[in-house]
Amino acid sequence: MASEAEWLRVANRQLSSRHLVRRVGRVMRVIGHILEVAGPKASLGELCALSGEENQTLGEVLGFREGRLYVVPLGPLPEVSPGAPVLFLEEQFRIRCGPGLVGRVLDGLGNPIDDRGPLSGPLSWRPVNAPAIPPLRRGRIDARYETGVRAIDGLLTIGRGQRLGLFAGSGVGKSTLLSMMARGGGADVNVIALVGERGREVREFLEDDLGEEGMQQSVVVVSTSDEPAYVRSKAAFVATAIAEYFRDQGMHVALFMDSLTRFAMAEREVGLAMGEPPSSRGYTPSVFAKLPVLLERAGPGSVGAITAIYTVLIEGDDVNDPVADAVRGILDGHVVLSRGLANRGQFPAIDVLQSLSRLFPSIASEAHQRAARRVREWLARYAEIEDLLRIGAYRPGADPDADEAIRRMPDIIAFLRQSKQETVAFEQAMDQLFDLVGDAS
């Protein structure tokens, strides 16, 4: 994208020119981080320059009511005073995309923040708020996406172009699992969005979890928790627009977003500032309208595909959290991480019985499906008698199926466990799955 400084230079040239018609409004009042502006007509999403006492920043038209425009700053709120000028630029928010993005770290507005200078190579403009591909122009999902994570590839195989959610409470290993899939996945390029992330953890994720190898094929978009809500929300759309650029070049793109819940929280904050009434658990109706707008942009295109993995923070480990419930109905599958498994030291803490890949039946072979179904049966049978085992009330020999599940559990747990540095090829995962099941499938 043209940097904020470039946009502001455009605004200053317009302000100093006598030969251009200038569309200028005035700040009437400030509501939280929202500016109410009186002035000319403007379209939704139009950029403007907000002039404070000492500096300027970009803003975007978010809505209007009774002849007044609502403008949200794309950065720190300037020290505006009543009547401060607002210059409308007649431009929509766009970013610059090109091969030079790979290996770079960008902020929530698409500007590089990795101290490696400006973006290089050929760049083309792309709108951030683009529509999703029409349904009949989408390709079919008929090829698998290899994640390098044995439990997912073996029991929850996902397709190239599928959209998957990672559901978990805080501290259960969502970000670590995300980084494992980014390093071990089979995509041509990764686009990773850290939305509302703690500032302390960004560098740790880049250096420890993603590593130099993962960074070489990734574009990382970062918007930390201390940034304005609208910038955090915008980061999700910027990352999606970047993924769409590479998809349209015929590439297979893996889009990782951590987290979708913080995106929803940012949208809630903006909606409340605009005066929307809160509905489910304080979330505004616009949050649930924005989620499909964002999520439907991922998926297969006519020439490339975006396989999207979104983390969803479950408040209080409640899988029926309103955001989690809404997202689960939009996505093509979900992987649930269990705090109980994490407390036992099983990582990744994937609860196979609560997880589902909707495309598994269409992309896995019959033998693969039978083996995965057999492991699920053992896990389900063991879950039924686990409480009896703990109190010593189970009598061996009473139920042959339960005895078989108990005997198989150590091998199943070993299959599900995987260190974060380990990458397992799909063929190797299949060999281990068939060895685990043996003749029982």
Place of tokens 């770290």: 105
**Is beta strand 163-168 parallel, antiparallel or unpaired with respect to 299-300?**
unpaired
- Same domain for 46 and 102, yes or no, is no
Task: Return the minimum-mean-pLDDT range out of 12-26, 100-114, 367-381.
Answer: 12-26
Predicted structure pTM score: 0.91
Tell me the per-residue pLDDT of 365-424, one tens digit each, with 9 for 90 and over: 999 999 999 999 999 999 999 988 888 888 888 889 999 999 999 999 999 999 988 999
Q: Is residue 9 situated within a structural domain? A: no
Instruction: Band the pLDDT of 11: cuts 50, 70, 90.
Output: low
Q: Is the pLDDT of residue 439 over 80?
A: no
- Same domain for 229 and 290, yes or no, is yes
Q: What is the mean pLDDT of residues 76-100?
A: 88
Tell me the per-residue pLDDT of 244-264, one tens digit each, with 9 for 90 and over: 999 999 999 999 999 899 999
Tell me the per-residue pLDDT of 216-239, one tens digit each, with 9 for 90 and over: 999 999 999 999 899 999 999 999
Q: Is the pLDDT of residue 13 over 80?
A: no
| Residue 120 belongs to domain with CATH number | 3.40.50.12240
Tell me the per-residue pLDDT of 145-157, one tens digit each, with 9 for 90 and over: 999 999 999 999 9
Chosen domain end from 32, 63, 92? 92
Chosen domain end from 44, 68, 92? 92
Q: What is the mean pLDDT of residues 122-147?
A: 93
- Same domain for 373 and 328, yes or no, is no
- Position 357 scores a pLDDT of 97
Q: Is the pLDDT of residue 14 over 60?
A: no
Instruction: Band the pLDDT of 170: cuts 50, 70, 90.
Output: confident
Instruction: Band the pLDDT of 37: cuts 50, 70, 90.
Output: very high
- Position 436 scores a pLDDT of 96
- Number of C-beta neighbours around residue 370 at 10 A: 14
Q: Per the omega criterion (within 30 degrees of 0), is the bond before 277 cis? A: no
Contacts of 247 (CB under 8 A, 6+ apart): 253, 301, 303, 304, 305, 306
- Position 18 scores a pLDDT of 43
Residue 433 tokens, joined: 């799955």
- Position 211 scores a pLDDT of 86
Q: Is residue 99 situated within a structural domain? A: yes
Evaluate whether 91 touches 46 at the Cβ level (below 8 Å): yes
**Coil, helix or strand for 405?**
helix
Question: Residue 316: left (phi > 0), alpha (psi -120 to 50), or beta?
Answer: left
- Same domain for 138 and 267, yes or no, is yes
Give the C-alpha distances (Å, rounded to integers) separating 389 from 237, 371, 386, 393, 404.
Answer: 49, 26, 5, 6, 14
Q: Is residue 232 situated within a structural domain? A: yes
Q: Is the pLDDT of residue 317 over 70?
A: no
Q: What is the mean pLDDT of residues 105-128?
A: 92
Q: Is residue 256 situated within a structural domain? A: yes
- Position 82 scores a pLDDT of 87
Q: Is the pLDDT of residue 19 over 50?
A: no
Task: Return the minimum-mean-pLDDT range out of 57-61, 105-109, 297-301.
Answer: 57-61
- Same domain for 26 and 164, yes or no, is no
Place of tokens 């470039």: 6
Q: Is residue 237 situated within a structural domain? A: yes
| Residue 399 belongs to domain with CATH number | 1.20.1270.330
Contacts of 27 (CB under 8 A, 6+ apart): 35, 36, 37, 50, 80, 81, 82, 83, 84, 86
Question: Residue 32: left (phi > 0), alpha (psi -120 to 50), or beta?
Answer: left
Q: What is the mean pLDDT of residues 96-124?
A: 92
- Same domain for 357 and 379, yes or no, is no
Give the C-alpha distances (Å, rounded to integers) separating 59 from 80, 86, 220, 408.
Answer: 13, 9, 23, 59
Indicate the average pLDDT of the chain. 90
Tell me the per-residue pLDDT of 324-342, one tens digit each, with 9 for 90 and over: 999 999 999 999 999 999 9
Number of domains comprising the chain: 3
Q: Is residue 14 situated within a structural domain? A: no
Evaluate whether 71 touches 62 at the Cβ level (below 8 Å): yes
Residue 126 tokens, joined: 């792309």
- Position 120 scores a pLDDT of 86
| Residue 40 belongs to domain with CATH number | 2.40.10.170
- Same domain for 406 and 424, yes or no, is yes
Could you tell me which of 35, 28, 308, 46 has the C-alpha nearest to residue 158? Answer: 308
- Same domain for 346 and 385, yes or no, is no
Q: Is residue 143 situated within a structural domain? A: yes
Q: Is residue 56 situated within a structural domain? A: yes
Evaluate whether 103 touches 218 at the Cβ level (below 8 Å): yes
Chosen domain end from 363, 383, 416? 363
- Same domain for 289 and 353, yes or no, is yes
- Same domain for 64 and 104, yes or no, is no
- Same domain for 184 and 113, yes or no, is yes
Q: How far is 363 from 332, CA to CA, in rounded Å? A: 13
> Which range of residues forms the domain containing residue 60?
21-92
- Same domain for 76 and 173, yes or no, is no
